A = this chain, B = another copy of it.
Amino acid sequence: MNSAVSEPALIGVDWGTSSFRAFLIGAEGEVLDGVSSSDGIMHVPDQSFEAVLERLIGAWTAKKSLPILASGMITSRNGWVETPYANMPLGACGLGQRLVQYKVANGALFHFVTGASTEHVGGPDVMRGEETQIIGASALGLSEGTFVMPGTHSKWVQVADGKIVDFSTYMTGELFSALKGHTILGTLMAEGPFNQDAFEMGVKAGFGDASNLLHNLFHVRTLPLMGKIPQEATADYMSGLLIGTEVAAAMGEVEVSGEITIVGRNDLTDRYEAALRTAGLQSRRASEEIVAKGHFLIARAAGLVR
């Protein structure tokens, strides 16, 4: 046996609404192999989750019986095995103690991570999947501060000593899609390259007047109507307006302490970085792949790997 190549010790599955990712993880928490696909839970017909797993990670499970940890919307009411929500503060130990076990037809034992919930004035807040990413971040030395997780439902998460202490969700991404696809605002949008100026103009409008979003959105119509921004820049203006409004709201609601870490490495996280900069805030980045580190740390806390 070549000592430089670790034996597989764990499979981590991050199974969301619209995407699937799995990692073959070694005894030191290193990622040995990975797959990703668009087989999110909303794309799986008739709850045929086992068939998806056989197709995507059957090669890993055939060789050796490995513990499998799964997180994300797969643990929701619309997923496969619904797990409860754990309360704050929440770290690797708390998640490890609350794993929900499920034996699949072929005998493999699954360990489903719970979601996390918190309670604010106005109502509860919930997450499924992001908690595992946050735990993973601490393995990279990112165990304090504010984590911004852009997406369909953006999360702003407060972390102290490697534990999640509070978080808030913002409907920003889904609202953007609904406005663009299903309101009059979309009708004055034309395709074009990313327009940084229009985006920043939107960020400033949103950040400067977050309480007026219902009115400010109408400018997404009037500005191109009056020729003040080109139609090719209108979607970027709206993107900036929504993200700027989110940043202002989050800064007002959450006590942002310590460094800000944006989770992700794509076009959307570039926009959040720019919006935070426009708001006078520095940030750093963490890869979304920290989720595999999270699977490893939770599995280790549960005694599933040494």
Chain B contacts for A122, CB-based, 8 A: 205, 209, 212, 216, 219
**With contacts A174-B183, A183-B174, A218-B153 known, is A124 near B226, CB below 8 A?**
yes
From A210, which residue of chain B is reached at the shortest CB distance?
A: B211
Question: Do B123 and A211 touch across chains, with their CB atoms under 8 A apart?
Answer: no
B228 contacts A124, CB within 8 Å? yes
> Across the interface, do B175 and A179 meet the contact criterion of CB distance under 8 Å?
yes
Task: State the number of copies, please.
Answer: 2
Question: CA A177 – CA B185 in complex, angstroms?
Answer: 13
Mark the stretch among A4-12, A133-141, A240-248 that contacts chain B.
A240-248
Q: How many positions in chain A have a CB within 8 Å of any CB in the partner chain?
A: 47
Chain B residues near A253 (CB-CB < 8 A): 212, 215
Query: Is the Cβ of B214 less than 8 Å from the Cβ of A126?
Result: no
Give residues 205-238 of A contacting B (CB, 8 Å). Answer: 205, 209-219, 222-223, 225-226, 228
- Measured in the bound complex, the distance between the Cα atoms of B175 and A171 in whole Å is 13
Instruction: Check B183 against A218 for contact (C-beta < 8 Å).
Output: no
A212 close to B182 (CB less than 8 A): no
Q: Which B residues are CB-close (under 8 A) to A182?
A: 177-178, 181-182
Chain A 231-274 residues near chain B, CB threshold 8 A = 242, 245-246, 248-250, 252-253
> From residue A17, how far is it (CB to closest CB) to chain B in Å?
9
**Which chain A residues (105-151) contact chain B, with CB distance < 8 Å?**
122-126
Tell whether, in the assembled complex, residue B183 and residue A246 are in contact, meaning their CB atoms are under 8 Å apart: no
* In-complex Cβ contact of A170 among B178, B218, B245 (8 A): B218
The smallest beta-carbon distance between A145 and chain B, in angstroms, is 20
| A177 to B216 CA separation, bound complex (whole angstroms) | 18
Chain A interface, >50% SS class: helix
Query: From residue A198, how far is it (CB to closest CB) to chain B in Å?
Result: 12
Please provide the chain A residues from 146 to 205 with a CB less than 8 Å away from any CB of chain B in the complex: 153, 168-172, 174-175, 177-179, 181-185, 205
Tell me whether A169 and B211 are in contact (CB under 8 A): no
**Which residues from chain B contact A217 at a C-beta distance below 8 Å?**
171, 175
Q: How many Å lie between the Cα of A223 and that of B123 in the bound state?
A: 6
Q: Which A18-57 residues have C-beta < 8 A from chain B?
A: none
Chain B residues within 8 Å of A219, by CB: 122-124
- If A210-B211, A214-B249 are given as contacts, then 14 extra A-B residue pairs at C-beta distance below 8 Å, sorted by A number, are A122-B219, A123-B205, A123-B218, A153-B218, A168-B215, A170-B215, A170-B218, A182-B182, A210-B212, A211-B248, A213-B213, A213-B245, A214-B245, A214-B246
29 pairs of residues in contact across A and B, judged by CB atoms under 8 Å = A77-B225, A122-B205, A122-B212, A122-B216, A122-B219, A123-B219, A124-B226, A124-B228, A153-B218, A169-B215, A170-B214, A170-B215, A171-B183, A171-B185, A171-B214, A171-B215, A174-B183, A174-B184, A177-B183, A178-B179, A182-B182, A210-B211, A210-B212, A212-B249, A213-B214, A213-B245, A213-B249, A214-B242, A214-B246
